[in-house]
Structure 1
Amino acid sequence: TLFAMTATADHVFYNGNVLPFCNERSNEKYSFIAVGQDKIIALGSGDDFKAYVVEGETKLHDLEGCTVLPGFIESHNHFNAVANQWGWLDLGITQCNTIPEVLSKIKNAAEELAQQPIQDDKPLPWIKCVGFDDTLISECRDLVKEEIDEVSGNFPVWIWHPSLHRAYVNSKALEIAGIDEKVENPEGGGIFVRNSEGKLTGQMEEMAAYQKVYVHLNKTLDMSTKRADMWETGKYFASKGITTVHDLFVGPMLYNLYRNAFAAHTADNPFPIRVTVYTPPHWKDRPETTGFDPLFLRFGGTKLFADGSIQCHTACCLEPYHDVPDAKGNLLFSEEQLGGVVENLHKIGRQIAVHCNGDGAIEAFIAAVIRANELHPRDDHRHRIEHCQMVTPEQLKKMKQAGICASFFVGHVFFWGDRHKNIFLGPERSQRISPLNSAVENGIKFGLHSDCPVTPVNPLHSVWIAATRKTKTNDVLGSDEKITVEQALRAYTIDAAYLNFEDHLKGSLEVGKLADLVVLSKDPLSVPIDEIPTIEIKQTIVGGRRIC
């Protein structure tokens, strides 16, 4: 048994299969874990747990042979967007197979809104939609504003592409935003898509463009009413075994979601999970702290975007796309601009998390970090490449030498792998997306993530993807890049904590660390690999407190 300073536990979880995932003792197992004042005070086996029990004070929890792991850490998602999108109209492939079905759902939503009273002093309500994917719908094409206009009445319409790098709107939305045919594509890689006649289609690529419309949608949201949605989102993430999330891109306006949610946070009624918020570079007056319990809400580094999405052909690649031979995508900023931002942030000691899907963007960021560190040396910056889809073997070596970590969007293999192979990247290049085994061989610390709401948040499913490399059609994409189940679990626990400078607090079950645990019905290291996604989350515990 590993002893701590105090011998009295608030909670003891016993009769289990406790896997600590410690750096030094990764193969050890225990049968009990004792918790006091939200931290782990002991791990051990057999009846030794009784030494920590005080009758009337210690609560005993029989694990009945279940497996206990460190709580999962979702190292890249958009938690605030999930909460913000509760109740939005789902136009995904499980709901709509054809564009007429999509338009029918929008028409029904418009007719329902038309039955509600509209206040003259309030902005028009929006029809807010998610999930439309041009490569999955039967017609295999994008929406255009004219067809949305026909079914939306006088209401503005917003439709997210699953990538969140593309949006479709109707004419009313453009009118509210003050956008007409004279609009020019903005700096930062934004594109207002036009048809063959040079007319706007209502399709917008990348934040620099769609933000000009989205800001008007956000004005119709009452942030104060979103508190319940934020708490429910926390419970939903906890139901998947997640105890910490990294919310990657929260500006000052969206941070109000957290302010309102955490106004209800108390020591006796804490927020369901822990959150680290990464903020954009334009939030220059970001406070030093959140003003709330830093164990539950803290600021992380600065989030940058170097390129866009592979599915939208806006990821910056070194070689052309398979289906569009004259396109390679572009950096959202010039290499000089990217280098300047990276240098300034690196110089002031800020961690940088940069969105890079294409190998061209990855190359530019690695070069920027190397240069910044030559000018302003830092021993342990832990700058991160987010998604890191198309990183090359040579780039992985450079990342290791430069001290750059990664958070891999491994779900691409399953959700888009077949389309990467057949459409976007081709049969050869697609085999190399999310090269996890190569990252392991190069000694790179990395996490895995869902990028929720881009794909559903489900760590055990992501672990299975990482270990099998199976696509939706059961094809195996890049067999050489499989990793072991243990390695994948580490990417959701101790290694994900490392990405966020929190490996001294969480990510493994060790005395003195936070008592953030997930209790599983079966041991993912022992069951047949294809059973891993079906393992039940029995309990999620944050700071010794059961959340679900």
Structure 2
Amino acid sequence: MTVDGKGTIAEAVAVRDGRIAAIGDAAGLAAWRGPETKVVDVGGKTVLPGFIDSHSHMAGMAEVEALHINVHAPPLKSGKEIIATLKEKTKGLPKGAWIIGQGTYNQIMPTREALDKAFPDNPVRLIWSAHDSMINHAAAVAMGLTKDYPDPKDGMGRYERTKTGEVMIIRDAPAPWPKLRTLTPEELKEGVRTIMTDFYLKKGVTTVSDYAAPLTVRAYQELKDEGRLPVRVSLNFFVRDYKRLVGNRLPGLLESGARTGLGDEWLQLGALKFAADGVWGTTAYTYRPHWNGSGTTWMPDNYGGTNFTQEELSDQILQGHKAGWQIHVHANGDRAQDMALNAFEAAQAAAPRPDARHRIEHFGHFLTQDPERTEARLDRMVKGGVIPSPQVAFLWRLTDVNVREPDVKFFALKTMIDKGMHPAGGVDTIGTQNFATAPMFSISRAIRRDTKYGTVVQPEEAISVMDAIRMFTIWGAEANFMEKDRGSLEVGKLADMVVLSQDPLTATPDQLPGIEAAMTIIDGKVAYQKP
């Protein structure tokens, strides 16, 4: 399946010097065989362009896999099972030692009372996502988060408290977290390499667009120099994440003269990223108050918040835009998305770039059915060439309460595609759903629209198998300025391919989630083969 503009289905591909030399029928390509040619017969299995993940956090995954306790629910079924798992994994831990549990968005967690009873002598932090954490009483005491500790000021983020006023849940807010063990530079390098191999290469992913911290960049460069980089990487930089937490890196990046595209086929610079708001149901910046049931807890008249004023965001984006950078803006809420569009349009007006390809990360996850504003927002994106970057893998985590939220389209892929957009596929896990890094997991969700509870969500937003594949191939390439080199199997492009265990075009919906990568090919060489 070439995924070219004509939807060509071919029988064979010839590779020379890491690039595709010819593609077509097997008989016609026989002339390309020479005495040194290696012929790989995949036995009629389906071959696709190597998958592209457009939104990943490799170092975060490495830290979580190495240092956190997995408390995902499912497979765990209750707060009681989570506590039992934590106890089993921390046998012999001394008093006062921290315990970190990693879950996923909106999953069930133990009550604060149960957590306090189970761990009276050890501080515990249970993480839903990079945005939300629950802490027990021992952790609140260790951090000084008493009833007298002031609420966060300016921008987004909040503390949720017990009846006595002690901090219980931290949502997108700064907190005096203790300095716990992190991975050494060498451990990080090997951890990132393991993540790239086990969670991406073995899933058929040949290119990852990663949000990389400086130490991770060093790890990538060393791995490349050593010839041990498992997949190709595009490096994206957080310019300023949550106010007060991560400093503004923009001046240094602009002064360097670097910009999007610098590098080679294995390691290149991608985009600058700004986090405008938080997550739906708690801290996303919205026009309407969050619905009671959309998040793990609820408070009335909650419109979320933002890290920037419009002036701040527009100024930062203009500077990056003028310097030749692609810009990514994390914006879950409709109001934050409008802020991003305002900034993009102002930047284009001040310094026109016909092909900037700026992106809104998470656009389309929760599309409010607010006809006037929503239609205008979609039209502005199409007109401005702004790319939506949704993570449909997270549809899986919706609960049967979440999906009842009125006036919302969930993961509205068909709506965006019908408008002419090319959404880019990505997973966006920092330990939240590491099992979902296989693109076939997301492709299955885009077609089946099913949650972890088996509920089918708004089947009218389901898309075709081919469009779901395009999200992780040619549309992913377009979203990262890579379509000249990858994303489809065409002459002159990089010979990056994935061989699937079953043809997704003929598979039934029930068979789709079981399709695996049987082989991954990078530069024309077999980089992974399933035993």
Q: Which amino acid aligns with 2:218?
A: R
Residue 63 in structure 1 maps to residue 42 in structure 2: yes
Contact kept? 2:46, 2:500, Cα under 8 Å: yes
Q: How does 1:67-216 map to 2 (within 5 A)?
A: 67-87=46-66, 88-94=68-74, 96-114=76-94, 126-131=98-103, 135-137=107-109, 141=111, 146-147=116-117, 150-152=120-122, 157-161=124-128, 163-169=129-135, 181-201=148-168, 203-206=169-172, 208-210=173-175, 212-213=176-177, 216=179
Contact kept? 2:116, 2:138, Cα under 8 Å: no
Q: How does 1:90-489 map to 2 (within 5 A)?
A: 90-94=70-74, 96-114=76-94, 126-131=98-103, 135-137=107-109, 141=111, 146-147=116-117, 150-152=120-122, 157-161=124-128, 163-169=129-135, 181-201=148-168, 203-206=169-172, 208-210=173-175, 212-213=176-177, 216-217=179-180, 220-236=182-198, 237-248=200-211, 250-252=212-214, 256-266=215-225, 269-281=227-239, 282-284=248-250, 285-286=252-253, 288=258, 294-311=264-281, 313-323=282-292, 324=298, 325-388=300-363, 389-391=365-367, 392-416=374-398, 418-422=400-404, 426=405, 428-430=406-408, 432-452=409-429, 453-455=431-433, 456-489=436-469
CA offsets per residue over residues 238-286 of structure 1, 9 Å max, x none?
Answer: 11111111113x233xxx134235424358x441111112111122324
SS across alignment from 2:511: helix
Contact kept? 2:54, 2:208, Cα under 8 Å: yes
Contact kept? 2:73, 2:107, Cα under 8 Å: no
* Separation (CA, whole Å) in 1 of partners of 2:501 and 2:283: 42
Between 1:257-266 and 1:444-453, the stretch displaced more is 257-266
Contact kept? 1:41, 1:511, Cα under 8 Å: yes
Q: Which residue of 2 aligns with 1:16?
A: none
Contact kept? 1:460, 1:533, Cα under 8 Å: yes
CA offsets per residue over residues 345-400 of structure 1, 9 Å max, x none?
Answer: 22222211111112121122112211221122211111101111234333111111
Contact kept? 2:155, 2:305, Cα under 8 Å: no
* Separation (CA, whole Å) in 1 of partners of 2:524 and 2:142: 49
Change (3 A) 1:135 1:417: closer
For residue 490 of structure 1, the aligned residue among 470, 475, 486 is 470
* Separation (CA, whole Å) in 2 of partners of 1:401 and 1:146: 53
Q: Which amino acid aligns with 2:233?
A: V
CA offsets per residue over residues 446-474 of structure 1, 9 Å max, x none?
Answer: 11222123322121121122123233344
Q: Which residue of 1 aligns with 2:370?
A: none
SS across alignment from 1:447: coil
SS across alignment from 1:150: coil
SS across alignment from 2:209: strand
CA offsets per residue over residues 327-358 of structure 1, 9 Å max, x none?
Answer: 22222322232222222222222211111112
Change (3 A) 1:488 1:100: closer
Q: Which residue of 2 aligns with 1:537?
A: 517
Change (3 A) 1:225 1:474: closer
Q: Which residue of 2 aligns with 1:4?
A: none
* C-alpha deviation, 1:537, in angstroms: 1.4
TM-score by length of 2: 0.85
Contact kept? 1:418, 1:472, Cα under 8 Å: no
Change (3 A) 1:133 1:523: closer
SS across alignment from 1:382: coil
Q: Which residue of 2 aligns with 1:13?
A: none
* Separation (CA, whole Å) in 2 of partners of 1:69 and 1:489: 9
The count of corresponding residues between Structure 1 and Structure 2 is 497
* C-alpha deviation, 1:52, in angstroms: 1.8
Unaligned runs of 5+ in 2: 240-247, 293-297, 368-373
* Separation (CA, whole Å) in 1 of partners of 2:114 and 2:342: 39
Change (3 A) 1:362 1:142: farther
* C-alpha deviation, 1:135, in angstroms: 4.5
CA offsets per residue over residues 298-342 of structure 1, 9 Å max, x none?
Answer: 22111111111114x111222222215522222232223222222
TM-score by length of 1: 0.83
Contact kept? 2:231, 2:266, Cα under 8 Å: yes
* C-alpha deviation, 1:489, in angstroms: 0.7
Q: Which amino acid aligns with 1:209?
A: P
Change (3 A) 1:105 1:482: closer
SS across alignment from 1:233: helix
Change (3 A) 1:307 1:264: closer
The answer to which structure, 1 or 2, has the higher relative contact order (CA under 8 A, 6+ apart) is 2
* Separation (CA, whole Å) in 1 of partners of 2:86 and 2:177: 19
* Separation (CA, whole Å) in 1 of partners of 2:420 and 2:112: 42
SS across alignment from 1:244: strand
Unaligned runs of 5+ in 1: 1-18, 116-123
Contact kept? 2:289, 2:301, Cα under 8 Å: yes
Q: Which residue of 2 aligns with 1:120?
A: none
* Separation (CA, whole Å) in 2 of partners of 1:83 and 1:142: 28
Change (3 A) 1:376 1:106: same
Q: Which residue of 2 aligns with 1:119?
A: none
CA offsets per residue over residues 493-524 of structure 1, 9 Å max, x none?
Answer: 00111111111111011111111100012221
* Separation (CA, whole Å) in 1 of partners of 2:260 and 2:118: 41
* Separation (CA, whole Å) in 1 of partners of 2:75 and 2:397: 17
User: How large is the Cα RMSD of the aligned pairs?
Assistant: 2.8
* C-alpha deviation, 1:421, in angstroms: 1.7
Contact kept? 2:101, 2:125, Cα under 8 Å: yes
SS across alignment from 2:512: helix
CA offsets per residue over residues 187-209 of structure 1, 9 Å max, x none?
Answer: 442323333333222x2111x51
* Separation (CA, whole Å) in 2 of partners of 1:177 and 1:41: 61
Change (3 A) 1:474 1:109: closer
* Separation (CA, whole Å) in 1 of partners of 2:104 and 2:366: 24
